[in-house]
Chain A
Amino acid sequence: DAMVIQNPRYQVTQFGKPVTLSCSQTLNHNVMYWYQQKSSQAPKLLFHYYDKDFNNEADTPDNFQSRRPNTSFCFLDIRSPGLGDAAMYLCATSRDSNRVGTHPSTNEKLFFGSGTQLSVL
């Protein structure tokens, strides 16, 4: 059973047309992440939430926004997509990495969704 679900699997948008990608989780994890991955590159962290606490990476463009209305859902909004924003967008979750009483590897493990491949025309 999928535990981190991303919709849609493929998204096509037009240059400059706002688009929203969605992610949901059934794991009840505190932390949710959005990564951008371009072909043959490593996933690049855009931002993450620790519960409702939003943490933006310094080099994430203002064009990218995120919302987390509750524990289960997180959204990535791209306000004006450019050709350079075409990429795979990966959502991931994890427990609180500082949680005590569990093996460290349990807290460190990220669970990824299957990703949304975004094309910009």
Chain B
Amino acid sequence: GQSLEQPSEVTAVEGAIVQINCTYQTSGFYGLSWYQQHDGGAPTFLSYNGLDGLEETGRFSSFLSRSDSYGYLLLQELQMKDSASYFCAVREGGFQKLVFGTGTRLLVSP
């Protein structure tokens, strides 16, 4: 089995930087993914870390430390449209299935 823990909610203002953490316990690890989901919408893929370190995609970056079983999503220059839920996810070792974390609701205010 596995578990992925995230803070339930984070608030920030436009233009700020916010970090969303994810700690995980898995029986086999094949990388950490991040998804964004707006209310009423479907999750959309943001990033993937298979190895330790930082991956950058525009305003979003994601970090992984396998030795610490920890990762984070960093959102810079926050915009109102970034208000959404963010999920980390891991693929159970050797299998195709993807399991999601508890989710973090980000609220961006003016």
Chain A residues in the interface with B (C-beta under 8 A):
31, 33, 40-45, 48, 50, 55, 57, 90, 92, 94, 96-97, 104-105, 108-115
B87 touches A55 (CB 8 A): no
B interface residues (Cβ-Cβ under 8 A, vs A): 30-31, 33, 35, 41-45, 47-48, 50, 87, 91, 95-103, 105
Between-chain CB contacts (< 8 Å), 19 pairs: A40-B105, A44-B100, A45-B98, A45-B99, A48-B97, A50-B96, A57-B97, A92-B43, A104-B31, A105-B47, A105-B50, A108-B33, A108-B48, A108-B50, A109-B33, A111-B45, A112-B42, A113-B42, A115-B41
Across the interface, do B43 and A43 meet the contact criterion of CB distance under 8 Å?
A: yes
**Which residues of the partner chain A approach B100 to less than 8 Å between Cβ atoms?**
42-44
For A57, the chain B residues whose CB sits under 8 A away are 97
A48 to B48, CA, bound (A): 21
* A109 near B97: Cβ-Cβ < 8 Å: no
Which A-chain residue is minimally distant from B47 (CB atoms)?
A105
CA distance A85 to B80 in the complex (A): 33
- Could you say which residues of chain A place their CB within 8 Å of the CB of B91? 97, 108
Contact assessment for A33 and B43 in the assembled complex, using a CB-CB cutoff below 8 Å: no
Are B47 and A42 within 8 A (Cβ)?
A: no
**CB atoms of A42 and B95 under 8 A apart:** no
Across the interface, name the chain B residue whose C-beta is closest to A113. Answer: B42
CA distance A92 to B96 in the complex (A): 12
With A43-B43, A43-B87 already in contact, the answer to whether A104 and B97 are too (CB < 8 A) is no
> Given the interface contacts A105-B47, A105-B48, A109-B45, does A42 sit within 8 Å of B87 by beta carbon?
yes
B103 touches A42 (CB 8 A): yes
> Which of chain A's residues have a CB closer than 8 A to the CB of B99?
45
